[in-house]
């Protein structure tokens, strides 16, 4: 059994060596990618402890399924696709925000059942989740309180210590910002 020790060895070579029996290769891949996966998770959770746990889960999942890596793309691309999908699923479980509702109306939208429509819906959710990260913290908080936690205008008034008209105006502005960002995004360019 050959052991890979050279730091110039590619990720793909490390995967092949692992599949051929060199268990040390997973440790090398872990060293190369843990921080990158962790930082991606941190951008979703904004909580270092949660990001650490999720990064560990992702790497364990990826390494457990490493034989499914076929080399059609770079290892990093494959790993980051797993990372992104895992983070999106985690965000949905934790937040359960219906982003379409923020943009269009306050009624719960029915999720499509057709596979193509479902993929487009999921792409929109991902894009909107990213856009929420691009607006000010106070605007994001208002949208999350209103649409995730179902706060009423009165509840928001009390929470933020502002008038009802100010709440409505700020909600409208926050929705408009997200709408504008959404319209500037090319949905077909998003790959999940």
pLDDT tops 80 at residue 157: yes
d(CA 7, CA 4): 9
Question: Would you place residue 90 in the very low, low, confident or very high pLDDT band (cuts 50, 70, 90)?
Answer: confident
Higher pLDDT, 141 or 120: 141
Question: In the block, which residue shows the tokens 């928001």?
Answer: 156
What DSSP letter does each residue of 64-106 carry, written as one string?
HTGGG--SSS-HHHHHHHHHHHHHHHHHHHHH---HHHHHT-S
d(CA 142, CA 109): 20
pLDDT tops 70 at residue 186: no
Structural domains for the chain: 11-95 (1.10.1740.10), 105-189 (1.10.10.10)
Residues with Cβ within 8 Å of residue 14, at least 6 apart in sequence: 4, 25, 28, 29, 75
| Percent of all residues in the chain with a pLDDT value above 90, rounded to a whole number | 22
């Amino acid at each position: 059994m050959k052991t890979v020790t050279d730091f110039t060895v590619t990720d793909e070579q490390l995967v092949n060596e692992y599949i051929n029996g060199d268990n040390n290769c997973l440790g090398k891949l872990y060293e190369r990618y843990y921080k990158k996966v962790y930082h991606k998770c941190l951008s979703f959770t904004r909580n270092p402890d949660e990001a650490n746990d999720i990064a560990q889960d992702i790497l364990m999942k990826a390494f457990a399924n490493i034989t499914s890596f076929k080399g059609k793309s770079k290892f990093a691309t494959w790993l980051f696709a797993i990372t992104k999908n895992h983070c999106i699923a985690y965000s949905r479980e934790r937040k359960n925000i219906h982003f379409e509702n923020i943009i269009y109306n306050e009624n719960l939208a029915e999720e499509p059942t057709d596979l193509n429509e479902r993929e487009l819906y999921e792409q929109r959710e991902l894009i909107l989740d990213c856009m929420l990260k691009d607006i000010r913290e106070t605007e994001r908080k208002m949208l999350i309180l209103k649409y995730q936690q179902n706060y009423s205008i009165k509840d928001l008034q009390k929470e933020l210590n502002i008038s009802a008209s100010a709440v409505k105006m700020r909600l409208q502005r926050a929705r408009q910002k997200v709408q504008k960002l959404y319209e500037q995004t090319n949905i077909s360019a998003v790959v999940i």
